[in-house]
Every structure is written in structure tokens, then in C-alpha cells.
Amino acid sequence: MAWSIVDVVRMSGVTSRTLRHYDEIGLLAPAWTAGDGHRHYEEPQLLRLQQILLMRELGVGLREIRDVLDSGADRVTVLREHHVRLLAEQDRLGALARTVARTIAELEESEDQDMVSVNRPENLFEGFRPDPAIEAEARERWPEAYERSRRVVEGMSPETTEQWQREATAQMIRFAEHMAAGTPADDPAVQAEVDAHYRDVCRFWTPNAEAYRGLARTYAEDARFRENFDRIAVGLAEYQRRAMTLYADTRLS
């Protein structure tokens, strides 16, 4: 039995763009391609996709995944390595559970649950860390920018890192407040926040107008990023995308 790319997208949640990218880099080719160019997948390809998604969840890079799948490595050995990573992930999830419990308690104690007071907003993100799959993809697709960012991050002291995380969290909350107030994305106050965001991004890499628009699209269209924004306020990723796109069009073009 064969499934179209539309079927695979529906079943797996992976976008058609991602599946085409996997094909282009030799990670997951379709079983066959019809005369009209539509890709079709059979059971072996679905099983391979399952393995790819598992390893991506564990933070394995695309090249490493391809090497593992093509090497015929012993599955038990590979799974043991993944098990070690899963135990570390279990500890992180415990921290996330504590974060959610604390936020629930603050919401329940607040008279206005939509405007809960957070004395330390960085507590909202305790236990969160950059998605390893996103990091691996960035390393694969933009090696120079990734390497520069990595060097900057590694050079930051724990105190500097904590301060940066606090500032980033506070900025996301300010964007959410503008959105809740109905402030247009092109309002000077919102654009001032975008300018601060752009300057902060430039600490790690310097995007031109096209790249900054691409970053804005990633925030809104990539489910992994969008989920982080929506933890602050539903719709925040799309609101910030509009604001960043306007900034790129007017300030960077």
C-alpha cells in the first residue's frame, strides 16, 4: 500500500516542505514519484520517518540521523544511547512540571486571571531550553551563523545568561501587552520593541531584511517556535511576525 505526501503530512504532522527537504538531503526518499511529480510513500518509508522523528526529538542532527539509518547500526545499541538522553529529558520535564504548577497557583490566587502578576517572569520558563531539533536544523542549514551564535553563547557567564533570559522574557511580555491593548504592529512603541529585538539578535548574528523576515515567519509558522510564544499569549507569534516584517520592510530594506 502507498500513501501520498498529503497522507503522510496528515498522519505524522510533518510538513510537506520538511518531507521534500528530507528527500533533497538524502534522508528520506519517497518510494516512488508519480508522473505529475507527487511523492508516494510505502511502509518502509513510514518506518524510517518514525525513526527520524524519534531521533530528532532526542536532539540528533540530520546528518547524524542519516548516517545512523544508512549504517545498519545495531538498533539496541542505538536505543541504549537514546535511553540515556531520555533520562536527562525526564529531569527537564520534571522542572517543566514544577513551572506549570507554580503558574497555576499564581493564576488561581490572582483576581484577574488574564492579568496575573508575575514577580519573576523568568520563572515562566524554568525548565525550557532551546529545542534540540531546531538547534540541529540550524547547524545543518546555516553553519556560519550557527557557529557564531554558539561562540557568543559559550562566552557568556551564567550571570550574563540569566540577565539575557530575563530581558528576553520581559520583552515577550511587553509584546503581549501591546497585543492585548490592540496596539497596531506599526505603532512606534511596538516598532521600538522590534528594534530592541533586532539589536539583541545582532549579538549572535546579523540578519539582513530577508533573513529577519524569515526569522519572523519561523516564529509564526514553525509549530515548535509558535508554541513557545503562545505560552505567553495566544496569537503572540503572529503579532510579532507582523511587527518584525514591517521593521524589515522599513528599516532594513
For residues 51 and 156, state if they share a domain. Answer: no
User: How many residues can be counted in the chain?
Assistant: 253
pLDDT tens-place string over residues 143-192: 776 677 777 777 777 777 777 777 787 788 888 888 888 899 999 999 99
Number of domains in the chain: 2
Render 162-190 in DSSP notation, one character per residue.
HHHHHHHHHHHHHHHHHHHTT--TTSHHH
Q: Single out the residue of 168, 202, 176, 193 nearest to residue 244, CA to CA.
A: 193
The reply to whether 59 and 157 lie within a common domain is no
At 38-88, the pLDDT tens digits run 899 998 899 888 888 877 776 677 888 888 888 876 666 766 776 776 676
What is the structure's pLDDT at 149? Answer: 75
Q: Report the 10 Å Cβ neighbour count for 247.
A: 25
Choose the final residue of a domain: 44, 71, 98: 71
Question: Of 46, 71, 96, which residue constitutes the final position of a domain?
Answer: 71
Residue 218 lies in a domain: yes
Q: Give 47-81 as a DSSP string.
A: HHHHHHHHHHHTT--HHHHHHHHHHT--HHHHHHH
pLDDT value, residue 155: 77
Residues 1-35: tens digit of each pLDDT = 889 999 999 888 888 888 999 999 999 999 999 88
- Interval 98-139: pLDDT, tens: 655 665 666 666 554 444 444 444 444 444 445 555 566 666
The residue ranking higher by pLDDT, 141 or 218, is 218
CATH of the domain at 65: 1.10.1660.10
Q: Across the chain, which distance is largest between two alpha carbons, in Å?
A: 62
**Within a domain: 79:** no
Is 112 inside a domain boundary? no
Q: In which domain, by residue range, is 23 found? A: 3-71
Q: Spell out where the chain has E strands.
A: 3-4, 32-33, 39-41
Give the domain-ending residue among 52, 71, 90: 71
**What is residue 251's predicted lDDT score, i.e. its pLDDT?**
92
The domain spanning residue 200 has which CATH number?
1.10.490.50
φ/ψ of residue 67, rounded to 5: -65, -40
pTM score? 0.47
